[in-house]
């Protein structure tokens, strides 16, 4: 029996390149799954806050945030948003920065850990990113997060309790500490089998190639049970 490849993904739901990277990873894994000896892969998402000092209710649009955060002009910020919107479209995503509500993401990360405990992390990750980048939902608000949790197949009352109790906040901080230990300073960042690091929203073909390569390594030295 050969162990599955484990892919640990550090990301922030407010990171536009993270959603693109997630979609490209998904497409790459789907391509590799058609192989006669298809790789077995487990994907786990981990928390990374790009801007932990962001208020829940940010006053301004995404271009305003970028201009302030990166110290660039509003025109330069808009050019960055236009570029990432184009790349997102190539990945099949329709970003709506005109609707986006910039916010603090720590509660969304807590919800992701709750979803992981319930076996629904992939669905929750997709739902949060879609809500943030394509629907203009306010992911800093408890009611919105609870509604999205229900969309992802989670119990709404249990999700609300998890958020109010902050019992998953230590798990968020542990992810962030692990990212620091790995030297991760930007996301998305993919750690494959605990030994290969891949930075950035790579093309789908690149993800397919690396999982095939790592799967071949697994087959050469299969686990014993």
Domains along the sequence of the chain with CATH: 5-220 (3.40.30.10)
Identify the segments of the chain with pLDDT beneath 70. Answer: 1, 222-225
Helix runs in the chain, H state only: 16-32, 62-70, 74-90, 106-117, 121-134, 142-151, 156-165, 169-182, 204-220
Which distant-in-sequence residues (6+ apart) come within 8 Å of 92 by Cβ?
23
pLDDT of residue 225: 39
Length of the chain: 225
pLDDT of residue 155: 98
Neighbours of 68 (CB within 10 A): 13
Torsion of the alpha carbons at 37, 4, 204 and 176, rounded to the nearest 10: 180
Residue with tokens 């930075």: 199
- For 151-185, write each residue's pLDDT tens digit: 999 999 999 999 999 999 999 999 999 999 999 99
pLDDT of residue 2: 74
What's the pTM value of the predicted model, to 2 decimals? 0.95
pLDDT of residue 143: 98
The answer to whether the beta carbons of residues 49 and 109 sit under 8 Å apart is: yes
pLDDT of residue 223: 54
């Amino acid at each position: 029996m050969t162990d599955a490849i484990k892919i640990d993904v550090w990301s922030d739901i407010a990171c536009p390149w993270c959603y693109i990277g997630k979609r490209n990873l998904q497409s790459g894994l789907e391509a590799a799954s058609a192989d006669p000896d298809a790789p077995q892969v487990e994907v786990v998402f981990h928390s990374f806050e790009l801007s932990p000092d962001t208020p829940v209710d940010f006053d301004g649009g995404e271009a305003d945030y970028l201009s302030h955060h990166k110290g660039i002009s509003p025109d330069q910020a808009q050019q960055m948003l236009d570029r990432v919107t184009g790349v997102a479209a190539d990945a099949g995503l329709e970003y709506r920065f005109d609707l986006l509500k910039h916010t603090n993401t720590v509660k969304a990360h807590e919800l992701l850990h709750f979803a992981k405990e319930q076996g629904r992390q992939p669905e929750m990750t997709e739902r949060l990113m879609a809500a943030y980048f394509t629907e203009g939902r306010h992911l800093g608000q408890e009611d919105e997060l609870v509604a999205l949790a229900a969309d992802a197949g989670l119990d709404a009352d249990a999700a609300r309790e998890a958020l109010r109790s902050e019992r998953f906040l230590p798990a968020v901080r542990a992810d962030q500490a692990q990212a620091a230990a790995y030297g991760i300073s930007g996301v998305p960042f993919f750690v494959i089998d605990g030994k290969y690091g891949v930075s950035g929203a790579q093309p789908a073909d690149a993800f397919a190639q690396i999982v095939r390569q790592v799967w071949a390594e697994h087959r050469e030295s299969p686990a014993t049970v």
